Amino acid sequence: MTLNEPRFFSLNNGIRVIHLPVNADVTHCGLYINAGSRDELEKEHGIAHFIEHCVFKGTSHRKAFHILTRMEDVGGEINAYTTKEETCLYASFTNAHLERALELLCDIAFHSVFPEKEIVKEKSVIVDEINSYKDSPSDEINDRFEELMYANHSLGHDILGTPKHLKSFDAKAMRGFMARTWNTNEMVFSVVGNVKASTLQRLCEKYLAQIPTNTREFQRQAPKLNPVFQEKRKRRNHQAHLMMGAPAFGVRDERRSAMILLNNLLGGPGMSSRLNLSIREKYGFTYNIDSSYAIYTDTGLWSVYLGTEADTVDRCEELVRKELRKLRDTPLSTLQLHKAKTQLKGQIAIAQESNQSLMLGYAKTFLLFDKVDSFQEICSRIDRIQADELQEIAREVFAEDRISTLLFHNS
């Protein structure tokens, strides 16, 4: 974990730059854009993700082959992803090739031409991607759960879209979405690597600063709280798959850090989480069980997922609710709270050992807050969390009358 301080500067068109200097042979950089599937209009369902694919299919300077080989020719990598609120184009490479990477990222982000022949092929690729998710019930149930939770709101959109919507997308539609949502004042270029500040400034002025200013003209609308649901859907799966969840806190809510700690204690990645110990280790009912906390700009979603046999799914749900009841009714002891905090801080420290993850995390944080906290500041915020605060959050978020359920069953 680096002890260096990140550097920040802004370009005249509103694009912000964050740079963390580290002593390493590999540099990571990414263009982080505050635009995702929640920014789609109804007729655009799936277009944010489709654009992420199609920007690699040709620009005014390069064909698809030359885009794909530009970084690979020097042993580097280029990739991208789309979420409900962000799109990110990023690259990893040895230190000598920052200019090559930045020029390429700018080319695909701002000079893509969306060749019709390539668009047609990519539609088939994404239909296959959609079908592959349908073959994975643990992935599909998450999408369907959010669809129900955020009914009649774009946050409920499946990121991949639908085959019906995909058929209607063309270059004009993609340019229209990008013109509306790929705004320069909603972009961050993030770099973690052994790069001189003067070199980075020069390259950003050469490439990023030449992009015309495009300021955002819309505001995201927060979703309304939908009625609690208990839904069952028949699926031809070997297992039953259950998802439970409730609305939680958005990214700017002061309770966010405490909710992260509470979720980590309940069903985080550790094998010692309460759900794993009480349901997998004690009873052997499930191989996969976890809880998650999805944080959005103006809302959040806490959920539990598990897969089990059809004849044990009801018992598993009872056991999950029992653990939730414990957190509502009984405050953590001093030792329990200390162990939960120590575990979370350790997980964060290990995650920050990955410079690529650090680059992406810095980009998102800087985009939202115009600053990034040091590891010490993050730890200090965790240390301030009190047991009664966690119990209060558990009583609100884990309340029985707030929990919705979705069950995929095969009988």
Please give the positions annotated as active site.
Answer: 52
Give, to the nearest 10 degrees, the angle between helix 64-72 and helix 98-110: 160
User: With 0-12 CB in 10 A as exposed, 13-18 as middle and 19+ as buried, what is 256?
Assistant: middle
Contact 233, 144 (CB under 8 A): yes
Strands 77-82 and 286-295: unpaired
Q: How far apart are CA 366 and CA 32, in angstroms?
A: 10
- The DSSP bridge pattern shows strands 187-193 and 16-21 to be parallel
Q: Where are the beta strands (DSSP E) in 139-239?
A: 187-193, 230-234
Strands (DSSP E) contained in 257-396 are 286-295, 300-308
Alpha helices in 243-312, H assignment, sequence order: 256-267, 274-275
Instruction: List, in sequence order, every beta strand (DSSP E) within 197-299.
Output: 230-234, 240-248, 286-295
